[in-house]
């Protein structure tokens, strides 16, 4: 996914990618990433968990404004099924 992200950013559209694989992201080097230690298949968290999905999407969108250093990987550190998204 990071490869596609890099191609889009090269066309001068800012991008951020959610990633569940930090090792891969560190190799592929997309411009901005949000890393979650979540299981595959769950980049926005759990089904029907609106607050969780919303928080993660807002985190990603906000990264578009706040990240200044190319290659930054934001790590909010939410713990799978344990973090309270209030």
Partner 1 sequence: MGKIQDLKNAILVQLFKHLPWLAERWARGHQFVEGKGIPWAPLGKPLRESCIAMVTTAGVHLKSQPPFNMEDPDGDPTLRAFPADADKDDLTITHKYYDHSAADRDINVVLPIDRLRELTEEGFIGRIAPTLYSFMGHIDGPHLKTLMEETAPEVAERLLREGAEAVVLTPA
Residue 73 found at the interface with partner 1 (CB under 8 A):
no
**Closest alpha carbon to 39 in 78, 71, 69, 85:** 78
Residue 40 found at the interface with partner 1 (CB under 8 A):
yes
Contact 16, 33 (CB under 8 A): yes
List, in order, residues 6 or more apart from 23 with CB less than 8 Å away.
none
- Please, what is the minimum distance in Å from the beta carbon of residue 69 to partner 1? 9
Residue 3 found at the interface with partner 1 (CB under 8 A):
yes
In the complex, which residues of this chain contact partner 1 (CB under 8 A)? Answer: 1-24, 27-31, 37, 39-48, 50, 53-54, 56-58, 60-62, 64-65, 70-71
């Amino acid at each position: 996914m990071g490869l596609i992200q890099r191609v889009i950013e090269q066309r001068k559209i800012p991008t951020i990618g959610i990633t569940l694989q930090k090792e891969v992201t560190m190799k592929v080097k997309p411009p901005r990433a949000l890393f979650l230690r979540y299981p595959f298949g769950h980049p926005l968290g759990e089904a029907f968990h609106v607050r969780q999905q919303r928080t993660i999407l807002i985190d990603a969108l906000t990264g578009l404004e706040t990240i200044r250093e190319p290659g930054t990987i934001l790590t909010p550190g939410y713990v799978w099924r344990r973090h309270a998204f209030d």
